[in-house]
Amino acid sequence: MVSFESDYIAGAHPAILRRLTETNMESLPGYGTDRYCRSAAEKIRDACKCPEAEVEFLTGGTQTNSIVISAMLKDYQGVVAASTGHISVHEAGAIEYSGHKVLELPQKDGKICAPDLRRFIEEFHEDGNCEHMVFPGMVYISYPTEYGTIYSKKELTDLYEVCREFSLPLFIDGARLGYGLASRQSDMALSDVAKLCDVFYIGGTKVGALCGEAVVFTKGNRPEHFANYVKKRGGLLAKGRLIGIQFDMLFTDDLYFDISHHAIDMSEKLKDILHDAGVPFYLESPTNQQFVIIENKMLEKLKKHIAYSFWEKYDESHTVIRLATSWSTSEEDMILLKEAFALVNPKSIW
Amino acid sequence: MVSFESDYIAGAHPAILRRLTETNMESLPGYGTDRYCRSAAEKIRDACKCPEAEVEFLTGGTQTNSIVISAMLKDYQGVVAASTGHISVHEAGAIEYSGHKVLELPQKDGKICAPDLRRFIEEFHEDGNCEHMVFPGMVYISYPTEYGTIYSKKELTDLYEVCREFSLPLFIDGARLGYGLASRQSDMALSDVAKLCDVFYIGGTKVGALCGEAVVFTKGNRPEHFANYVKKRGGLLAKGRLIGIQFDMLFTDDLYFDISHHAIDMSEKLKDILHDAGVPFYLESPTNQQFVIIENKMLEKLKKHIAYSFWEKYDESHTVIRLATSWSTSEEDMILLKEAFALVNPKSIW
Amino acid sequence: MVSFESDYIAGAHPAILRRLTETNMESLPGYGTDRYCRSAAEKIRDACKCPEAEVEFLTGGTQTNSIVISAMLKDYQGVVAASTGHISVHEAGAIEYSGHKVLELPQKDGKICAPDLRRFIEEFHEDGNCEHMVFPGMVYISYPTEYGTIYSKKELTDLYEVCREFSLPLFIDGARLGYGLASRQSDMALSDVAKLCDVFYIGGTKVGALCGEAVVFTKGNRPEHFANYVKKRGGLLAKGRLIGIQFDMLFTDDLYFDISHHAIDMSEKLKDILHDAGVPFYLESPTNQQFVIIENKMLEKLKKHIAYSFWEKYDESHTVIRLATSWSTSEEDMILLKEAFALVNPKSIW
Amino acid sequence: MVSFESDYIAGAHPAILRRLTETNMESLPGYGTDRYCRSAAEKIRDACKCPEAEVEFLTGGTQTNSIVISAMLKDYQGVVAASTGHISVHEAGAIEYSGHKVLELPQKDGKICAPDLRRFIEEFHEDGNCEHMVFPGMVYISYPTEYGTIYSKKELTDLYEVCREFSLPLFIDGARLGYGLASRQSDMALSDVAKLCDVFYIGGTKVGALCGEAVVFTKGNRPEHFANYVKKRGGLLAKGRLIGIQFDMLFTDDLYFDISHHAIDMSEKLKDILHDAGVPFYLESPTNQQFVIIENKMLEKLKKHIAYSFWEKYDESHTVIRLATSWSTSEEDMILLKEAFALVNPKSIW
C-alpha cells in the first residue's frame, strides 16, 4: 500500500535527521537562544533578501497562526480571512480561543481578492454602528491555499496595496510555502513573499521537517516580548535547537527548495497518471494537492491499494478525495499509483 | 423634532419609576437576593406557565448573550446563529471574547430554518476532520430578529425538534420579546416560547425598563454556580433590586404585554402613514421596526423633522433607514410623523 | 430591625430619583452619547480640576476593574495589587477571565507601600527568567481599601513616584471614594486623587446612586476605541442616560461630597456608640466601615435587632463582623443601634 | 567548558535518535493516531500498572499544564498550587490566559501539605462570600518540585486524601518525574504515582527526549474530545509520531528509568564534589538539581569553566546558583567539575 494521504506521512528529510544526530551531544542553551536557531535565522534572512527580518521558530501551524494573530491584533480587532481559510474552519476555534473573531470573506478556489477586501473594509467604516462591531485588524491568507491554489504576484500585490492603504498587516500562512514557490505556475520567489506582506511563515512540518515553522516578521514589526506571548500560549520549546537545527539544514544548499521542487515534479506526474486513467478532477491544483472525483464502488477497491484523504461527498455515488505528494514521494510511489488505477479502471465506470 | 431612532430613546415606563421611588428607602440585601427579585421571578414563572423555570436578572442584551452562551457551551463547542444575528455582527465580538466561535448559518429576513440547521449539523458530523473543527453546541435565534421578523409557532417547533434531536440547547434572545408576542402576526404566547426552547430572555431595556433582562432557564438547566459566572464577567449588580423591582412591576397587571401592544399599534399606524405617503419599504415587519428607502435629498430635509437610524446605503441616491416605535411612542408622535412626510412629499421624487 | 449590612442597602439618593423622573420622557440617543453623560463628565472634570480628563460611565465595580485593567495591560503584563485587594479575592477571578494575572503584594491594613512595590519590580527585572514570568504592567489600589483604611497624600505620592519611575500606570479603585475623601483622617481632595494616578473611578453604587461608576482617565490616556472594549465585555448600557443623569446630579451642588460627609458623621457616631458599649474593635477605620469582635452568643441576640456582615471567625467563641454606614444612614438608625447594644450588654461578656 | 546549566542542554538519548532514524520513512497517519503512539501508550499503561489509564502526548511542560488544567476546571474554579509552583511563577501566566486563577498555598522547600490544603478549602467554604470568589477546582503539585524536593508516599497519600474528600482532582506535574522516582530518597514507584493522583505527566523533554510529555489520566477521566482542546490551544502535532516514537523507546527495556538513575548517580557525585570543595548548599536536594551559594568573585572565575543557572541573589556578595545533572551528564563532566572547583578554591574565601 502506497500513501498519498497527506504531506506529513513520513518523518524528516534524511539530511535533517543526520544533522540532529551529529549535533546531538552538544551542550546548548535552551528556549531558542542557541547558535543553530541564530544561524537558521540568518540563512532565512538571506534567502528572503530581507536583512531586517526578525525570525522566530514555532512548532506547528495552528500554534503559529494563533500566536502571530493574537500577538498582532488589538483587543477590538479581528482577522479577515477566506471563508474556507484554515483559521476559519480547521483550527478548532483557536483564534476565537484568543478572544478574536475571524471575519470571513467570500473566496474563489480558496483565494480572496483585493476588490472584495476593499469593499468589506469600506462598508465597515461606513457603518454608523462600527463601535459595536469587530474592527478588521489584519488580513490572513495561505500560500498555497486550502485547495492548493496560489496567488499570482499581481494578485498578491493588489491585495497588499489594499492592506497598506488601510494599515492592516498582511499575514501569509506558508505551511506549504515551498510547494507554492516551486509550482510551475508560480511567478514569485521567497523574496517576493517577504516583500509583499508584513509577516509570514515558512512551513517546516509539511516540507521535510519533523516539526517546526519559521515565522518571519519582515518590517521590523515583531511584537515586543514575543517570547512571552509564545510561553504564555504553551508554544516555547525547552530544546529550541530541535527546530533551529532543522531549519538550519533546510536552508543550507537550497535543500528546502530542492525538496519542494521534487514534490511538484511528483505532483505533475500524478496529474498525468490520473488524466491518462480518465479520472475526473474536482480541482486540479498547481501545487502538491490534487482533488479528484471517484465513483464509490471504485473507491472501495482503490483503498486496498492506496491511502488518500476523504475530502467531501460529491453526490450519492461519488466522492471527492485528496491526493498529496511531498518531499518524500518517490518514483516507485508513482508506479504503484499507476498500477492501482489500472486495476480499478475508472474509464469503465464514469 | 420627534424621534423614531430606536426603542430605547425614553427612560422607563412611569409606573416603574414610581415603584422605584416607593421602595427606595427599604433596606434590602444585595446581589439579587432581595424580595423583589424573588417576587419578579415568581410572576415570570407564572406568566410562562413554567413552574420549574429558574429566572435570573442581568443588565443588558450583549451581557446576557455572552454570559448565557459561554456558561452553557463546553470548551470545544460554538454557537450556531444566523449570519445576521446580533451575536454574529453587533456585539463587538463578545462571544469570541469568551473563547467561542459563532457558527453562521444563512438567513432569510433574519431567520434561520430547520432544514438548514439539520444540514449543517449532519455535514459537520460527516466530516472526518471534526476534531479539528468547532462543534455546534447550542443554537441562538432572536425573537423578533434583527429585521423585526418573527418565527411562526410551526417554524420554531421545527427548529426546536432539530435541536432536541441533536441535543443542542436552543437559546432565544428576546431583547424585544414583548413586541414579537404582541405582533398581529404572532401565533405564540409567552408560554409557547418557554416550551419551545431551553433558555430565553425577556427584554426589559427596550420594553419599558431603564435596564435589565430576565433570563429564563426553562428546563431545570441553569448552570451550577450561575452567580459566579455573572460576577466573573462583571455583570453582578450590588443593587440587584434595580432590576428586580422593574420586572416585578412589568409583570404586574400585564404591564409588559400592554405596553408591547401599544408599540405594535403605533407601528401599524406608522406603516399606514408611510404607505399613504408613498414611501417604499425595504422590509415591512410585523413588529416595531420598519425599514424604508428614502431618496437622499429627501432625507436631508426629513432629518430636520424626525430622528431615525441609518441602516445601510441602498444605492447611490437612496438610503435605507429604520424607524422604531416603542412603549413610549405617542399618538402625537404619529401626527408629527405624518406632517414631516407631508412636508417632504416622497411621491414627488420616487 | 436596622441594617448596617453594607453601604448598598437602600436605593438612590432621593434627588437622583427625582431627576430620573423629571427627565424620563426626554428622547435621548443611546450608549452614553446623551447630553447628561456629557454634562456629568464636564462636572467631574471640574471637580477634579483636571480639564484634560476623559470620563467614561460603567455599571459596577467588578465590571469597571476588569474592563479598565484589561484595556490598559499588554498581553504579557499583569496587575500588581495587595493580597487582600478586591480584584485579588472578591471578584470571582474576573481579571484572570480577561487573561491576566494579579501579582499580589503583601499588605498592611489593606494597603501596599512604595518600598515593597519597588522591591517587587526590581527583583522582577533582576530575574534572568523574566521572559517566563508575568511582567508587572500596572498597579491597582483601592481608596479606601477593603478594610476601610486610606492612604495619606504622602503614601500615595511615594507609591505614584515608584509607578512613574517604572512607567506603570496607577489605577485607583474608588468604589467608596466619597467616604475616603470625607474621612476626618483624609488629607486629600478629589483633585489630589486625579493628580496622583493615571486612572481612577468615582463610585456611584455605594455612594448614593442606583448603579454606576465614573472612570476618569487623568492623563489623556483613555484606550483607543474604549467603547468597543466595554461592548465586547457586555458593559455598554443602551440607556447610558441612567448613569449619566445620576452622576450629573451627584456632581451638582456638591451632593456627592455632602452625602459622603454624612456617612462619615454617622460612622463616627457608630464608633462612639460601640466604644461606649465596650465592644472591642478588630479594625477601627477612618471611613464608613468598622470591624468589631462579637462573642458568639451575644451575636445570636444581636442579629434579632441589627443586620450586619459576617467578616471572619475570630476564634472558637468570637466572630468579626462589619458594620457599615452610608449616605442613607439616619440618626434614628443610630438610636436603634445604641438600643440594640444596650440590650445585649457586651461588657457583661467580654 | 562543561555545562550543568539545566537538564535540557543535550539533544535526545542516542537510542531515541536511532529509532527516529529507523522509522523515518514509514508512512504513518497524523495527529497521534499512529501505531507508535498506541504502542507507547500501552507500554506506559503497563509501567503504571494501570490498565484503564488513558495516555495523551503533548509537546512541552507549560503546554501540558495549561491544557490539562483548563480542560479539567469548570469556569468558576481555579487551581490550587504552591506559591513557588511552576504554574504560579514561571509560565508567563499561561493558566490565567485560559481564564483561571492560580490559588496559591504556602510552601516549604517547594511542597504543600495536607493540613494547609484542608484549612484553605474549609475556610473557602465557610466564607459567606464564596460566590464572589474563585472556587478551588483541582490541586497541582510537581514531583519533584521547583527545588528538586520530593513528596514521600505518606505525604502524597495525605494530600490525595484531602483532595478526594473534597472531590478535587489532583494533578502531578512530572516534568522531571524520572529523576524524582530514581532519587535515593524516593519511596514511590511509577505505579504509586498513578494510584495517588487523578492525572499526571511523565516528562520527556528533561529526561532524554527531544521534546514531549506523556499525560496519564489514571481514573478513566480524560475530558471528552480532548484532542479538540489540544488543537484549539495549538498543541496538536501533525507528526504525532515524533513524540510517540520517543516515548515508545523510553518505555522499552526500562530506558526511562535507567537514564533517570544515571542522572541521580551523577547528582550524588556532584554533591560529594561540592561538599569536598567546601561549597555551602542553599538547598541540597535528593534529585538532579542542587542549589549552592557562591561568593561573587569566585563566581566570576567559575563561569570560565562551568555553565550554571543563576537562581537568586543571596546577599550583597553571594549568589545562589543551580547545578543540574541529567541523563546526558558524563563521568568526564564530573572530573571537569572537580577541577573547576579546585581552581577557584572556595574554602579560601567562604
Please report the DSSP string for A215-239 in residue order: EEETTS-PPTTHHHHHHHTT---S-
pLDDT score, position A95:
98
Cell of D316: 550583597
Each residue's pLDDT tens digit, C183-239: 999 999 999 999 999 999 999 999 999 999 999 999 999 999 999 999 999 999 999
Task: For residues A10-23, give the mean pLDDT.
Answer: 98
Strand, helix or coil at C107? coil
When CB atoms are compared, the residue of C99, C127, C310 closest to D96 is C99
Task: For residues D48-77, give the mean pLDDT.
Answer: 98
pLDDT score, position C286:
98
**Interface touch B232/D70, C-beta < 8 Å:** no
Q: Could you tell me whether strands B289-295 and B318-324 are parallel, antiparallel, or unpaired per DSSP bridges?
A: antiparallel
Q: Could you tell me whether strands C54-58 and C213-217 are parallel, antiparallel, or unpaired per DSSP bridges?
A: antiparallel
Task: For residues D167-179, give the mean pLDDT.
Answer: 98
Each residue's pLDDT tens digit, D204-262: 999 999 999 999 999 999 999 999 999 999 999 999 999 999 999 999 999 999 999 99
pLDDT score, position B348:
64
D125 touches chain B (CB under 8 A): no
Give D101's contacts in chain C (Cβ within 8 Å): 93, 96, 102
When CB atoms are compared, the residue of D89, D100, D126 closest to C313 is D126
Closest alpha carbon within chain B to C228: B92
In chain A, residues 5-64 whose CB comes closer than 8 Å to chain B? none
pLDDT score, position A345:
76
Cβ(C99)–Cβ(C129) below 8 Å? no
Cell of D183: 532519587
Counting Cβ atoms within 10 Å, is residue C252 exposed (0-12), middle (13-18) or buried (19+)? Answer: middle
Give B66's contacts in chain C (Cβ within 8 Å): 234
Half-sphere exposure of C161 (CA within 13 A, CB side): 10
Per the DSSP assignment, residues forming a β-bridge with B102 are: B79
CA distance B330 to D273: 93
Give B65's contacts in chain C (Cβ within 8 Å): 234
CA distance A69 to A138: 8
Residue ranges of domains in chain A, CATH in brackets: 2-6+256-343 (3.90.1150.10), 14-254 (3.40.640.10)
> For chain D, what is the mean pLDDT?
96
When CB atoms are compared, the residue of A89, A95, A132 closest to B92 is A132
B332 touches chain C (CB under 8 A): no
When CB atoms are compared, the residue of A21, A29, A239 closest to D211 is A239
**Interface touch B134/A97, C-beta < 8 Å:** no
Chain Cα centroid distance, residue D187: 17
Q: How many CB pairs under 8 A join A and B?
A: 59
Half-sphere exposure of C345 (CA within 13 A, CB side): 3
The chains found to touch B (3+ Cβ pairs under 8 angstroms) are: A, C, D
pLDDT score, position C60:
98
Closest alpha carbon within chain C to A227: C131
DSSP secondary-structure letter at A20? Answer: H
When CB atoms are compared, the residue of C75, C227, C236 closest to A71 is C75
**Interface touch D132/C92, C-beta < 8 Å:** yes
Counting Cβ atoms within 10 Å, is residue D97 exposed (0-12), middle (13-18) or buried (19+)? Answer: buried
Give A90's contacts in chain B (Cβ within 8 Å): 129, 132-133
Cell of D303: 563561569
Tell me how close the Cα of D102 comes to any Cα of chain C, in angstroms. Answer: 9
Give this prediction's pTM: 0.97
Q: List C-alpha distances in Å: C267 to A21, A66, C188.
A: 76, 53, 19
Tell me how close the Cα of A96 comes to any Cα of chain C, in angstroms. Answer: 13
pLDDT in tens, chain B (350 residues): 899 999 999 999 999 999 999 999 999 999 999 999 999 999 999 999 999 999 999 999 999 999 999 999 999 999 999 999 999 999 999 999 999 999 999 999 999 999 999 999 999 998 878 899 999 999 999 999 999 999 999 999 999 999 999 999 999 999 999 999 999 999 999 999 999 999 999 999 999 999 999 999 999 999 999 999 999 999 999 999 999 999 999 999 999 999 999 999 999 999 999 999 999 999 999 999 999 999 999 999 999 999 999 998 899 999 999 999 999 999 999 999 999 999 887 766 55
Give B134's contacts in chain A (Cβ within 8 Å): 92-93, 96
pLDDT at C350 over 80: no
Task: For residues A319-326, give the mean pLDDT.
Answer: 97
Its sign, for the CA torsion B307, B312, B316, B317, is: negative
What is the total residue count of chain B? 350
**Interface touch B236/C61, C-beta < 8 Å:** no
Q: Could you tell me whether strands A318-324 and A289-295 are parallel, antiparallel, or unpaired per DSSP bridges?
A: antiparallel
Give D102's contacts in chain C (Cβ within 8 Å): 101
Each residue's pLDDT tens digit, A65-93: 999 999 999 999 999 999 999 999 999 99
Q: List C-alpha distances in Å: C80 to A205, D97, D135, D334.
A: 40, 17, 22, 44
Question: H-type helices in chain C, by residue range?
Answer: 14-22, 35-48, 61-72, 86-89, 94-97, 114-126, 153-165, 177-181, 190-195, 226-232, 241-250, 255-276, 296-302, 331-344
Closest alpha carbon within chain B to C212: B237
D74 touches chain C (CB under 8 A): no
DSSP secondary-structure letter at D294? Answer: E
What's the helix, strand, coil split of chain C in %, to 5?
40, 20, 40
